[in-house]
Structure 1
Amino acid sequence: MGRPLTVIQREDNRDKPCVMCQSFGDIRPSYTMDGLCRTHARRRSEGAPLDRIPEKAPDGAGHIDKNGYRHVTVNGRRQFEHRVITEGVLGRPLWSDEEIHHVNGNRADNRVDGPFKVDERGRLRSGNLEIWSSNQPRGQEIGPKLEWAVELLTTYGEFDADRLRAVLAVHGSAEERRRYSRLRSA
């Protein structure tokens, strides 16, 4: 026979600071019995060096991803820079039916030159960014389509309110004429 087995007693280092992070002057809670945080434990299992864990990027710091889009950190969240810039210029969050396209094809070129304006070809642009919308009206009745068209024009473009009132005078109901009487030309 041999010697009897002895129980190996290991100190439970969970809920103490990570020994690797502590050696770099950082404080992260340990996750494993041997005192490593989650990141260092993962690196050890992958065979990667147990180097210092870099801090999260500060707000405004960014990088370009493999698809060529620039990402920035805003309020601790990584976001596409072109969306952040567009929302800032518009003064509102983008809607789910809106997309931002890069005019020159360079996905990292997020230049704007002021507010978004509708150009002569009907494109809503500012600098190298262009807003596309997949919004469309429901049904085929003229009334809802007119409401949708007025909403679209007041949201994105310039329109002639007097011309709209003239069309409604001929084709619109009294309710529609009343509803759109307050509109002003842009």
Structure 2
Amino acid sequence: MSKIGQCSVCGETRKLGKSHKKCHPCLYQARKARMQNRCTVCSKLLSLNASALLCKSCGRKGELSPNWKGGTQSNSGYRLTRMPEHPNSQRSTGYVMEHIVVMTEHLGRPLLPGETVHHKNGVRDDNRIENLELWSTSQPYGQRVADKVEWAKQILALYGPDFADTTAPKPVAHGPSAAAKALQTAIAELLETADRLDSIAGEIV
């Protein structure tokens, strides 16, 4: 029940709120200020006298944690890094596997459903791009030939431009070309004709 008294904020004698310490105008201003004083990460309300921009929970996560060592490692041996903004990160924790980050940066896009990243040498924390392969677990809808052909078209349309072998060496022609062979034959015939003419000229003389 409200009562008349001296406000602990403005000092005026007014009708006080339920706490019997602040008047209604001061309570409104405090509530308005509190609504603007939120954590910049999770938007959680902060105390009125808080000087930090993060709540206690967000201020102890990731790089802000005193125990931060550049990342973490899962029980299965994969390195993790906290990147809440990454499309392939876990929504609950904000962490994403480091080899996925490396592959997505290499591809220039996030991983699609059904895509995984394989370590060639089996070492799960060796995340050099040379050691990573993009795998796909997608399968055709059925075993009919028409289904497989349609699936093959989709795979080629998706991965064909990225994995086309543009560095394959061009076949080298061995031996002279057809035009060169024809020229050599013509020259041989001319030489043979010249020798024959010389022989005839000697007989006449």
TM-score class, shorter-chain normalisation, is 0.3 to 0.5
Larger proportion of helix: 2
Question: TM-score scaled by structure 1?
Answer: 0.45
TM-score w.r.t. the length of structure 2 is 0.42
Higher relative contact order, structure no. (Cα contacts within 8 Å, ≥ 6 residues apart): 1
Q: Higher Cα Rg: structure 1 or 2?
A: 2
